[in-house]
Amino acid sequence: MAAAYEKIANELREEIRAGQLAPGDRLPSEEDLKSRFGKSPGTIREALRVLQSEGLIEKQHGRGSFVREPRTLVQRDNSRHQWEKDRARAPEEQRLETGATEQDTSLVFDDLVFRAAYREIEAPKDIAEAMGVEPGTALVERTYRTRYAAERAPFNLVTSYLIRNLVDSNPDLLDSAKEPWPGGTMNQLDTVGIEIDHIEERVTARPPTTEEAEELALPPGTAVLVLRKRSYDADDRVVEMSDVTLPGDRTEMLFTTRLERW
C-alpha cells in the first residue's frame, strides 16, 4: 500500500505529465497543498522531495517549487566515431556545416554556446599510465563546455589530453582560439600525420561531486556517467584521451553492433 506522500507525489506527477502543470509553472504552496490533501507539512515536503529527485520539479530559494523545464536529450551513438573519421578529410566548407554535438542533439551550430580552454601540464601518474607515457610527459590539456543557448548547463564536462611532442609541429593545435575546430580531433591529428585506427570507451556511473552537480544543474540524487575515451593510432599508441562526465538525467548511450551472418 502506497504511503501518503507517495499518493500525493503520484497525483502531482500525473498533473505534470498531463500538462495541467506546464514547464515553468509554479506549484501550489506547501500551505495550499496541505489544505488540498489534508496532510501534514512533513508529508507534503516528502512528496515534493520525491518529485525533485525525479527531476520533475525544482526548488527556487524564496520563490517555491516549479515544474522543471525539460532539458535537451543527448544520444551518444557509437557510430559517431566513424562519422567523425569519414568527415575528417572532407573539405573545410563541409566540416564547418556540423559537428559531433549537433549530431548527438539534433541542434544546429547557431543553437550552441561553445567554450574551450587549453593549458600545458606534466602528466600525473594516473593519466600517464592510462596514456602509456612516462609521468611528467608534456601534455596539452583541453577542457570543453558546450551548451544549448536556451539552457544554462552544459551537455557534459570534457577534458581531453594530447601528447605535446606529437602535435607541436602544428602550432594551431596548441591554440584554443582556433576552437571550435572544423572536423574535431580526428582532423586536428590528421594535420600532423596521425590517423586514428580504433577507439576504446569505458563507461562507469557514480554520484557527482558537488562541483559537477552544480555545473551540470543536476536534480538531487542524479548520478553521472563517466566515460574515458582513448584513441589509438595504427601503431597501437594512445594519441588522445578524453574524460567525459555526462549527466544521468539527460544522456542516452546507444550501442549498435553489427553481427556477421552465418
**For 201-217, how does the pLDDT look when each residue is reduced to its tens digit (9 = 90+)?**
999 999 999 999 999 99
The overall average pLDDT reported for the chain is 93
Q: Peptide bond before 180: cis, by omega within 30 degrees of 0? A: yes
Give the CA distances from residue 210 to residues 31, 67, 105, 247, in Å, rounded to whole numbers and listed in that order: 31, 23, 26, 13
Beta strand segments in the chain, E: 57-60, 64-67, 74-77, 112-122, 138-148, 157-163, 196-206, 224-233, 238-247, 251-254
Q: Say which DSSP state 111 is in.
A: G
pLDDT in tens, 95-152: 988 889 998 999 998 999 999 999 999 999 999 999 999 999 999 999 999 999 989 9
Cβ-Cβ contacts under 8 Å for 175 (sequence gap 6 or more): 118
Domains and CATH numbers, the chain: 4-67 (1.10.10.10), 74-254 (3.40.1410.10)
pLDDT in tens, 164-174: 999 999 999 99
Q: Residue 215, SS3? A: helix
